[in-house]
Amino acid sequence: MKLTLLFDLDGTLIDSRYDIAGAINFAMQHQAGHEVPIRRILPYIGSTLEATFEGLLSEPTPELIGLCIETYKHHYYEHCTENTSPFPGVAATLARLDGHLRGVVTTKRTFMAKRVLREVGLAHQFDLILGTEEDIDPKPDPAVIFRACKMLGIEPVNAAVVGDTLHDMRAAKAAGCRSIAVTYGFGDPRELIAFGPDAVIDSFDQLLRVLAETA
């Protein structure tokens, strides 16, 4: 039985840093009157919007965080792929994964993940696109992985999670899946390697080598 592949989205399949950072700074400027450098935003990509704005706002309050989240959502929906594209090798590699069930498991809401993947021309490559809804705790909780496996009809032990952050690796471990860390995304490569994933790839096309070695 071939491994089922469960991919993180931002920082793994697509380089979305500029659209996400732009929407975050738009919300912060509109609601709080200040922005932050993109380098401060990158470590939060993959976290919840609540955690992101709590960490980035100079004077966070529940009310202000809520306003920023709503402003972010409206702005990002309209501008989500203006500066977003798949990482090199993603489209070509996905096209060579015949026989592998493929899913996306992301902190984004499902409708937003589907929108972004359609816009960048990747949606058709996946058997399932699943986001973190209100009844699913975000990674590193394994809930989204468990639900994806159930929807795909497979056991977690027969799946591998491919991601760029410790949230992805910890969720994979908690779910009992294999873990494949990518070093080209938004996470710290040193932290990823220190975690001890089952495999590490420096470019998306190296996934084919990893899969051949585990076949």
Task: Give yes or no: 164 in active site.
Answer: no
H-type alpha helices, 33-99: 38-41, 49-56, 62-79, 90-94
Q: Which of 3, 1, 15 is nearest to 208 (CA)?
A: 3
Which residues is 180 bridged to in the sheet? Answer: 162, 199
Contact 156, 3 (CB under 8 A): no
Q: What is the DSSP string of 122-149?
A: -GGG-SEEE---TTSPPTTSTHHHHHHH
C-alpha span between 4 and 155 (Å, rounded): 9
Name every residue whose Cβ is closer than 8 Å to that of residue 213 and which is 6 or more positions away in sequence: none
Q: Which of 8, 15, 19, 164 is catalytic?
A: 8
Q: Which of 81, 67, 74, 63 is nearest to 9 (CA)?
A: 81
Q: Which residues are catalytic?
A: 8
